[in-house]
């Protein structure tokens, strides 16, 4: 386990990729992973939003152009995680909030994924993702100009510039150019041949020719929504 009192986010910087990506293996313990999974799966059924290729839960409020009516994140999404975010100063550049106020939980069954996309302007440009239960491979694509985009027949024909292996219990942080000028996505696959991917964060003990089988992955995507509206703003002061 990492001793978070004695490390710096820079120690986890992924080399030879554009700025900035950080990857921390074993960010949480197996016990913490299990506790988080239990909480995710004990959420009331209406909390799940089912999309074509994944299910999700939205915690913290719905970000919109006008702002987000913020609801406090439940403690189980913070307990084993926020102290480490603070120690690593992941969200410290964010002027208003030093910790995330929003968390999107995605669940992908084997064979599911997410189209290449940008996280966009509702969020402060830092995203921190905890992976639970299964690994996945995140593909990073350089953004095309609008003109080129219109010429693309199918967005999935994009060739990723590079990829990252996200192991269960790991944390990935994307900031700067990787947030602002790159798209990220997860291919819809049941297994991955690592040798066919340009993976930039492989540890020495992972066989770069391995073929991995995906199982159900749950990801916790933490972000800051800076534009928030206070609830009860119309309440009369008495
Ligand atoms: O599951 C992941 O790691 C990525 C999720 C994602 O890109 C998003 O929710 O915007
Ligand atoms: Fe995203």
Question: Helix, strand, or coil here: 141?
Answer: strand
Residue 128: left if φ>0, alpha if ψ -120 to 50, beta else—which one? Answer: beta
Q: What percentage of the chain exceeds 70 in pLDDT?
A: 91
Atom 10, ligand 1: residue with shortest CA distance:
119
Distance, CA of 198 to CA of 176 (rounded, Å): 21
- The domain over range 19-231 is classified in CATH as 2.60.120.590: yes
* pLDDT confidence band for 157 (50 / 70 / 90): low
Distance CA 198, CA 64 (A): 35
What are 117-153's pLDDT values in tens digits?
Answer: 999 888 999 999 999 999 999 999 998 765 555 555 5
- CA of 129 from ligand 1 middle (Å) equals 7
| Rounded alpha-carbon distances, angstroms, from residue 143 to 107, 159, 161 | 25, 11, 10
Tokens describing residue 43? 């959420």
pLDDT tens profile 71-93? 999 999 999 899 999 999 999 88
State the residue for tokens 């994140």. 73
If you take atom 1 of ligand 1, which residue's CA is the nearest one? 219
Cα distances (Å, whole numbers) of residue 211 to 178, 192, 195, 196, 237: 27, 6, 8, 10, 63
Domain ranges of the chain: 19-231
Look at ligand 1, atom 2, and give the residue with the nearest C-alpha. Answer: 219
The interface predicted TM-score of the complex, written ipTM, equals 0.99
Ligand 1 binding pocket mutation candidate from 184, 201, 223 (most atoms within 8 A of CB): 184
């Amino acid at each position: 386990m990492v001793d978070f009192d004695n490390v710096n986010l820079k120690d986890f910087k992924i080399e030879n990729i554009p700025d900035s990506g950080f990857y921390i293996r074993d960010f949480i313990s197996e016990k913490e992973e299990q506790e988080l999974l239990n909480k995710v799966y004990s959420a009331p059924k209406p909390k799940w939003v089912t999309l074509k290729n994944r299910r999700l839960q939205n915690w913290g409020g719905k970000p919109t152009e006008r702002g987000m009516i913020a609801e406090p994140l439940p403690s189980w999404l913070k307990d084993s995680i926020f102290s480490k975010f603070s120690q690593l100063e992941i969200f410290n550049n964010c002027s208003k909030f030093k910790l995330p106020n929003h968390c999107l939980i995605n669940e992908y069954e084997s064979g599911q994924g997410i189209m290449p996309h940008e996280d966009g302007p509702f969020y402060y440009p830092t995203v921190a993702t905890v992976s639970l239960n299964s690994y996945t491979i995140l593909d990073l694509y350089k953004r095309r100009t609008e003109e080129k985009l219109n010429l693309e027949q199918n967005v999935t024909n994009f060739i990723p510039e590079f990829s990252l292996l996200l192991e269960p219990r790991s944390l990935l942080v994307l900031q700067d150019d990787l947030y602002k000028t790159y798209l990220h996505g997860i291919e819809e696959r049941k297994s991955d041949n690592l040798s066919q991917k340009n993976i930039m964060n492989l540890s020495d003990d992972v066989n770069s020719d391995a073929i991995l089988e995906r199982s159900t992955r749950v990801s916790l995507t933490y972000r800051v929504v800076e534009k928030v509206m206070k609830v009860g703003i119309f309440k009369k002061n008495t």
